[in-house]
């Protein structure tokens, strides 16, 4: 009896062991072999219609006091989807949805969607707030699903929109960065396969290492930019005012620290709201400050002068005979006012913005030396951390005609991006050394480590003495010429130069009445903390850059001096007429 | 082999039953832990995201305030341009002129 009982027990035990073993095998297949497929299925059931909630790293502005402010982050809310097969009362459902959602399908489109009885899932509204989503869900309308949703959100809206960039599907099936920093740092900002829950068994059986040290945490993170939000706001406002006042095609500006290459602000107008791009012209999405090239005109003259001084072919005391107009290779070039100045020193080339003076320096320099300086300044891309950077156009400097060199000396016949231009001019504000312009100072990895990016690579171009001599000439522009001398700041030396270039007419010539205006300046002139480059393309009913951009430059200069409390660097008379 | 089991102070049957019981309890326990862990993860993750969204809304207000200040036309608001500007006197530090 006892033996019989024991054998029965053993049979039952064997069965239990077998069943347990089968369960474990099944568990292995469910959790590990087919785990991903089940995870996606679960996502579809309780998270959203897609493969999972959208996730992406943040982009931060950095205030002057070191406080990060979100430039791009994530917002959370709900989407509404309908199941046409179970939706009983489309009219009532539409009324409830429109009451909760700020935007949804039109009434007719909704009814058309509800009539598609072969489908079980159609999204009809997005971006519901937490409160509205929960209210709608509480109504438990049959055939209406309220599902958790996350989306990219730009708290600044238009603020630095061209630089921060956009996220969209592009030509693929997943959301990814398409322009700006979103594209440049897409690998870092993207989040791969991170779902809201963990597969405990799968982690336990196959992925113990990643529970402790995750490889993803070492490659995914957030980025911290060098953009200061208040300076950016001010620059955008000034640029917009210029563009609207003179009905320009486009205007832009960059503020950079010439010592490090950190871009403090960069703006272009027209712009767009990064949170609402439905009706935005796609041509606005790129960044013209790094993608478009322009002939900048006379702001090239300080570079030409510095090259002449650096090469030793001129000194500040050198004079030349200015005749107003000259003919070179059958082409006639003149000063902006067609007037002759006679025998004058080098400083007047900058102060009076004389084309003939710049052309004379280029001739003295010689073609090869001029080309070499130009190639060093503009021959390579700046390497800024933005996509689709353009290249400078100066192929005409490979030809032997002197006219090409003479016109390039005052910024016509050669074209470069605003970013290349501020980098080159930044050499004048940094002892003759070009820096590496950049928008990102550091990345914050998910592991908690913050990694500073190395932008220390520099390119020496000019000697310090040549740069200082040119700076002195540029300081005279503000102290003596700008606004008739009223722009002079007694306690701060500011170096500047205006540029007015004729626009090309597309037929190998130039318009006589359409211009590209530019303005560059840096301060404190002999130990600069800021360099500002402004431009406006094709302003109407105005000829000179000093008129269009002078007040914007001065507004930004005074703002930066006050905002950063830049200490005075000289002690002239302390009271001036306003 | 038989001798070995005979020397044990308890029977093979009870040993196996105990083992199975432990396995079943462990299995149920692991399921409970997994579910709790998943629920907590979801809750915590969503809580973090909700807080981020609240911060983003505050940041949006900050940006809007900045834009408002930058766009304010002080002349239209009744302020007038000062007749003179007085600068803080300072000894020349780096400037040549």
Q: Which of A77, A155, A493 sits opposite B95 (nearest CB)?
A: A493
Residue B97: inside a domain: no
Cβ-contact A167, A178 below 8 angstroms: yes
Per-residue pLDDT band for B82 (boundaries 50, 70, 90) equals confident
- Cβ contact, residue pair B70, A525, below 8 Å: no
Per-residue pLDDT band for A49 (boundaries 50, 70, 90) equals very low
Provide the domain count of chain B.
1
Question: For A157-180, how does the pLDDT look when each residue is reduced to its tens digit (9 = 90+)?
Answer: 999 999 999 999 877 778 899 999
Q: How far is CA A55 from the centre of its chain?
A: 22
Residue B79: inside a domain: no
> CA A394, CA A131: separation in Å to the nearest integer?
59
Q: Please give the average per-residue pLDDT across A10-26, as a whole number.
A: 85
Residue B41: inside a domain: yes
Question: For A377-391, how does the pLDDT look when each residue is reduced to its tens digit (9 = 90+)?
Answer: 999 999 999 999 999
- Cβ contact, residue pair A568, B93, below 8 Å: yes
Residue B89: inside a domain: no
Question: For B59-68, how does the pLDDT look when each residue is reduced to its tens digit (9 = 90+)?
Answer: 999 999 999 9
- Residues with Cβ < 8 Å from A359, sequence gap 6 or more? A326, A328, A333, A406, A407, A409, A410
Which residue in chain B has the smallest CA separation from A160?
B63
- Cβ contact, residue pair B49, A230, below 8 Å: no
- Residues with Cβ < 8 Å from A432, sequence gap 6 or more? A306, A310, A460, A461, A462, A463, A464, A466, A467
User: Phi-psi region for residue A542, left (φ > 0), alpha (ψ -120 to 50) or beta?
Assistant: beta
Q: Which of A23, A69, A130 sits opposite B59 (nearest CB)?
A: A69
Distance from CA of A335 to the nearest CA of B (A): 28
Reported ipTM: 0.76
Q: Which of A76, A159, A472 sits opposite B53 (nearest CB)?
A: A76
- Residues with Cβ < 8 Å from B95, sequence gap 6 or more? A475, A493, A524, A525, A526, A569, A570
Residue B50: inside a domain: yes
Domain range for B27: 13-71
- Name the pTM for this structure: 0.84
Q: Which residue has the higher pLDDT, A289 or B52?
A: A289
Distance from CA of B18 to the nearest CA of A (A): 11
Question: For A514-542, how does the pLDDT look when each residue is reduced to its tens digit (9 = 90+)?
Answer: 999 999 999 999 999 999 999 999 999 99
A435-467 burial: b if 16+ Cβ within 10 Å, else e: bbbbbbbbbbbbeeeeeeeebeeeeebbbeebb
> CA B43, CA A148: separation in Å to the nearest integer?
13
Tokens linked to A372: 């070499």
Residue B91: inside a domain: no
- Cβ contact, residue pair A196, B17, below 8 Å: no
Q: Rounded to the nearest 5°, which phi and psi values hold at A155?
A: -55, -30
Closest to A75 (Cα-Cα) out of A152, A133, A156? A152
Residue A50 predicted with pLDDT over 50: no
Q: What is the pLDDT of residue A43?
A: 53
CB < 8 Å to B13, chain A? 6, 9-10, 13
Residue B48: inside a domain: yes
- Cβ contact, residue pair B93, A490, below 8 Å: no
CB < 8 Å to A575, chain B? 84-87
Residue A264 predicted with pLDDT over 50: yes
Question: Which residue in this structure is represented by tokens 């830049």?
Answer: A566
Residue B22: inside a domain: yes
Q: Where are the beta strands (DSSP E) in A402-457?
A: 433-434, 440-445, 450-452
Question: For A331-371, how does the pLDDT look when each residue is reduced to its tens digit (9 = 90+)?
Answer: 999 999 999 999 999 999 999 999 999 999 999 999 999 99
Residue A478 predicted with pLDDT over 80: yes
Half-sphere exposure of A304 (CA within 13 A, CB side): 33
């Amino acid at each position: 009896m006892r033996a019989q009982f024991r054998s029965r027990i053993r049979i039952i035990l064997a069965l239990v062991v077998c069943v347990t073993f089968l369960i474990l095998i099944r568990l292995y297949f469910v959790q590990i072999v087919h785990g991903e497929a089940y995870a996606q299925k679960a996502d579809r059931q309780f998270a959203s219609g897609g493969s999972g909630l959208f996730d992406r790293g943040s982009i931060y502005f950095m205030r002057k006091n070191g406080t990060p402010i979100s430039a791009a982050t994530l917002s959370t809310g709900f989407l509404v989807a309908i199941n046409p097969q179970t939706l009983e009362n489309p009219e009532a459902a539409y009324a409830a949805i429109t009451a909760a959602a700020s935007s949804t399908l039109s009434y007719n489109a909704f009814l058309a969607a509800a009539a598609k009885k072969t489908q079980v899932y159609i999204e009809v509204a997005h971006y519901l707030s937490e409160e509205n989503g929960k209210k709608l869900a509480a109504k438990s309308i049959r055939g209406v699903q309220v599902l958790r949703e996350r989306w990219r959100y730009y708290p600044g809206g238009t603020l630095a929109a061209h630089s921060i960039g956009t996220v969209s599907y592009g030509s693929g099936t997943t959301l990814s960065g398409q322009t700006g920093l979103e594209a440049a740092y897409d690998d870092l900002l993207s989040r791969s396969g991170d779902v809201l829950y963990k597969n405990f068994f799968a982690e336990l059986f196959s992925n113990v290492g990643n529970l402790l040290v995750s490889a993803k945490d070492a490659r995914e993170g957030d980025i911290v930019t060098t953009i200061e939000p208040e300076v950016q706001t001010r620059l955008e406002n000034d640029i917009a005012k210029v563009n609207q006042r003179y009905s320009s095609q486009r205007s832009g500006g960059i503020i950079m620290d010439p010592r490090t290459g950190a871009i403090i602000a960069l703006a272009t107008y027209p712009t767009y709201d990064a949170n609402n791009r439905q009706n935005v012209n796609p041509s606005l999405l790129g960044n013209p400050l790094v993608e478009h090239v322009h002939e900048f005109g006379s702001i090239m003259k300080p570079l030409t002068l510095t090259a002449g001084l650096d090469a030793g072919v001129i000194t500040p005391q050198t004079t030349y005979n200015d005749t107003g107009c000259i003919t070179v290779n059958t082409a006639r070039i003149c000063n902006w006012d067609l007037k002759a100045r006679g025998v004058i020193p080098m400083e007047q080339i900058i102060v009076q913005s004389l084309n003939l003076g710049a052309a004379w320096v280029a001739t003295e320099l010689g073609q090869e030396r001029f080309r070499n300086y130009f190639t060093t300044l503009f021959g390579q891309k700046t390497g800024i951390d933005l996509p689709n950077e353009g290249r400078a156009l100066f192929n005409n400097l490979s030809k032997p005609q002197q006219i090409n060199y003479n016109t390039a000396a005052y910024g016509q016949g050669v074209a470069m991006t605003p970013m290349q231009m501020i980098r080159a001019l930044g050499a004048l504000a940094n002892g003759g050394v070009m820096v590496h312009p950049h928008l990102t100072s550091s990345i914050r990895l998910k592991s908690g480590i913050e990694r500073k990016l190395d932008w220390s690579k520099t390119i020496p171009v000019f000697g310090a003495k040549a740069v200082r001599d040119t700076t002195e000439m540029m300081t005279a522009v503000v102290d003596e010429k700008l606004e008739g001398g009223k722009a002079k700041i007694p306690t701060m030396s500011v170096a500047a130069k205006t540029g007015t270039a004729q626009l090309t007419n597309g037929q190998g010539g130039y318009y006589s009445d359409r211009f590209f205006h530019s303005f560059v300046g840096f301060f404190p002139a002999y130990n600069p903390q800021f360099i500002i480059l402004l431009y406006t393309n094709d302003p109407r009913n105005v000829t000179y850059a000093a008129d269009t951009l002078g007040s914007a430059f001065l507004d930004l200069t005074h703002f930066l001096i006050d905002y950063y409390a830049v200490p005075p660097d000289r002690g002239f008379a302390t009271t001036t007429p306003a | 082999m038989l001798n070995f089991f005979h020397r044990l102070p308890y029977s093979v049957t009870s040993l196996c039953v105990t083992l199975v019981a432990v396995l079943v309890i462990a299995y149920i326990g692991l399921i409970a832990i997994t579910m709790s862990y998943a629920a907590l993860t979801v809750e915590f993750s969503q809580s973090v995201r909700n807080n981020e969204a609240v911060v983003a809304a505050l940041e949006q207000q900050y940006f809007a305030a900045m834009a408002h200040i930058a766009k304010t036309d002080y002349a239209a608001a009744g302020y007038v341009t000062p007749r003179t500007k007085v600068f803080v006197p300072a000894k020349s530090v780096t400037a040549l002129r």
